[in-house]
Structure 1
Amino acid sequence: MPKGTGASSAAPRNQLTPEDWIKAARNLLVSRSIDAVRVEVLAKELEVTRGSFYWHFKDRDDLLHRMLTAWRDEATEQIIYRFERRGLAPRELVRDLLTLPFRGTAAQEAASTELAIRAWARREERVRQVLDEVDAKRLSYIAQCFSALGFDIPEARARAFALYSYELSESLLSNQGTTAQKEERRACMERLLLK
């Protein structure tokens, strides 16, 4: 379609960025499995030649490493930064963290990606190490919130683990219960964690 005739503003297929490849790889990881994330499959999905892949990546391993790094940064570093930037008081921050699993399509997509990463981590040690790093960073951040509320370190860590386990469970069991039941569970966790 010629320019100016309603053509999509997306880059032409021959001008894909590394992020386009990473996004497509992540979609395959979520919809199929890590085994499906192959150069030839991605090229077909993106409607380009396999050769264009090598403008951005050395090989499949390079793509997988960069996809995992991008997920780690998005799922941990950027989220913590956004929370910090808002400057919420610790009690409000804990309440806000409890709502993460219920934030619409973005939360569902994040949960699907995380579940796929966790499945991948059961098969590959390097992925397991990144996942362990992410879990530790998140738990540490949440524990700091509870410490700021006056809980001693062991209690802050235990409450952080409970909150984090709750978030993971709500993501895993996202189809369990009505909206009202989910809100009841969230409110119950808030009462338990903040008393």
Structure 2
Amino acid sequence: MNMTSNHPEIATRGSIESWLNAAFETLKESGVDAVRVLPLAKKLNLARTSFYWYFEDREALLAALIEQWKNKNTRNLVSQAQAYAASITEAILNVFDCWLNSELFDSQCEFAMRSWALQSEQVAEEIKQADNLRMAALKEMFDRFGFSEDAAATRARSIYLAQIGYISMKTVEPLEYRMRFIPEYLRIFTGEEPAAHELERFYQRNDFVPPGA
């Protein structure tokens, strides 16, 4: 049901987006056990019964959270891997946008989902499927630029597993520090020297000014 923000029922029922956003914030902050109807209603300052206007029960909400995570993180990563690029380094920089732009890929959500998977076989299976889809898209990216089967698979796995390691370790680094290593990552992942104009475009779209620039 689509309701505009000035609809009178918004004040008493909220919107499906407000319930989902509140559930995601709770999932990221406190884990899946904290995602419950009454605390969410209190967080939104809404009646508990308004939840059932949008969801049959808590399980339906949890299912919606899984779908939203898939639609954002997996879809965007795959899209970035498939985006036009004139070179393999430019293609990888398209993917690296995901690691720096939370609108493309929500790392906190990814961590929360992987934590949830430790206690849910269903979510663990969703994670497995997402991992396979993402790594397949990364491999196909290398395939487009003529890498051998094993080289494409190994480099795709290296890119993906390195980032999942960042997420799993909850690594927090200043943007300048992380950007410092981007050219070397590109050399490792491609065996090629990144072009200055490709790095410049990448820096610009991620609001980074290199030291001395």
Name the aligned partner's letter for residue 129 of structure 2: E
TM-superposed deviation, 1:36: 0.6
Corresponding residue to 1:184 among 180, 183, 186: 180
Q: How does 1:7-26 map to 2 (within 5 A)?
A: 12-26=10-24
The structure where helix makes up a greater share of residues is 1
Gaps of 5+ in 2: 192-213
Between the aligned partners of 2:159 and 2:79, the Cα distance in structure 1 is: 19
Contact 1:139–1:164 under 8 Å retained in 2? yes
Name the aligned partner's letter for residue 182 of structure 1: R
Encode CA deviations 1:171-190: one digit per residue, 9 max, x unaligned: 445324x5443223322211
Deviates more, 1:143-152 or 1:181-190: 181-190
Between the aligned partners of 1:10 and 1:129, the Cα distance in structure 2 is: 40
Corresponding residue to 1:42 among 34, 40, 43: 40
Contact 2:41–2:47 under 8 Å retained in 1? yes
Q: How does 1:1-195 map to 2 (within 5 A)?
A: 12-81=10-79, 84=82, 86-91=83-88, 92-103=90-101, 106=103, 110-171=106-167, 172-176=169-173, 178-195=174-191
Encode CA deviations 1:61-119: one digit per residue, 9 max, x unaligned: 010011111111111124433664x522351111222343233x547x81111101110
Between the aligned partners of 1:70 and 1:100, the Cα distance in structure 2 is: 16
State the TM-score, normalizing by the size of structure 1.
0.84
Name the aligned partner's letter for residue 65 of structure 2: M
Between the aligned partners of 2:175 and 2:57, the Cα distance in structure 1 is: 44
Percent identity for Structure 1 against Structure 2: 25
Contact 1:143–1:157 under 8 Å retained in 2? yes
Q: Flag the 1:49–1:76 CA change in 2: closer, same or farther, 3 A.
A: same
Between the aligned partners of 2:122 and 2:115, the Cα distance in structure 1 is: 13
TM-superposed deviation, 1:15: 4.0
Runs of 4+ residues over 4 Å off in structure 1: none
Q: Paired residue for 1:4?
A: none
Paired residues in the alignment total 183
Name the aligned partner's letter for residue 73 of structure 1: N
